[in-house]
Amino acid sequence: MPKAVAIIPARFNSTRFPGKPLATLKGKIIIQHVFERVSAAKLIDAVLVATDDQRIFDAVTSFGGKAVMTSGSHVSGTDRIAEATSELDCDFVINVQGDEPFIRPEMVDEVVEVLYNDDKVSISTLAKRTTDINEIFSPNVVKVVMSASGFALYFSRAPIPFYRDEWQMKKTEDREQKTEDRVSTFDLSTLNSQLSTSFCYKHIGIYGFHKNALLSFTSLKEGRLERIEKLEQLRALESGMRIKVRITEHDTFGIDTIEDLRKAEEWQNISL
């Protein structure tokens, strides 16, 4: 049976939240929450943290986890796990972000299942349907559109697909405005009522790779679309790699800033 290893990339020098993996949330450091949740997945054979910081390495080993030291020059977490993977005996590599303390074991298994069940898949990931207007129009929430067979067609920070006819617009009628300022705007009251019948999916950033696909992906140069949207999964699509998306019913909440940590302490949707 194929062997699946989950690797959690973690670095100390985050621009927006230095020391984030070691910040305390509900009595435990964030990286411990992530490690324990991933370890509870049924289809994972081993879990390890890949880091470039001795403080994180020591913290992980102190609570009984396994960690490996990697180079401090990596641009992304994917590059970091590729280094950690190169010497591992495994078939699948699951990349779980180190700032996702609310990740559910079931979500990890869902990503692994896609790799088990479809040999045409290079990369697997998750998405969840959303009808939240703030998520759909937020550039901080990545959206994805899929083919009928579930393969990703595109990821974007913009609202996709755009419901041209259903998402009604209204024209500015103020005659005192300059012509160039009379732009179309969303009729939010109408839009809110229409979103319940729209199918928009937000991407959840957990990835499963065939080991060879991971090593191939990290050898590719940055793509044009990746550079525009700042989404590295677009590099895979531009190069012809196939990403299959599993629709999940579960949600998660990443910690990017100190304010996110405060919100997470109060978040009741998923308990720790």
245-266 per-position pLDDT tens digit: 999 999 998 898 888 898 888 8
Question: Is the residue at 167 inside a domain?
Answer: no
Domain that holds residue 241: 4-161+199-266
Residue range 69-104, pLDDT digits in tens = 998 788 888 999 999 998 899 999 999 999 999 999
Dist. CA 246–CA 263, nearest whole Å: 27
- In terms of C-beta density within 10 A (0-12 exposed, 13-18 middle, 19 or more buried), how is residue 180 classed? exposed
Question: Is the residue at 183 inside a domain?
Answer: no
Question: Is the residue at 191 inside a domain?
Answer: no
Question: Is the residue at 150 inside a domain?
Answer: yes
What average pLDDT is seen over the chain? 88
Helix axes of 77-85 and 211-219: crossing angle, nearest 10 degrees: 130
Question: Is the residue at 175 inside a domain?
Answer: no
Question: Is the residue at 254 inside a domain?
Answer: yes
Out of 129-133, 207-211, 222-226, 232-236, which region has the weakest mean confidence (pLDDT)? 129-133
Give the confidence band of 38 by pLDDT, cuts at 50, 70, 90: very high
- 44: domain CATH number is 3.90.550.10
Question: What is the β-pairing status of strands 4-10 and 46-51?
Answer: parallel
Question: Is the residue at 111 inside a domain?
Answer: yes
Number of domains in the chain: 1
Question: Is the residue at 177 inside a domain?
Answer: no
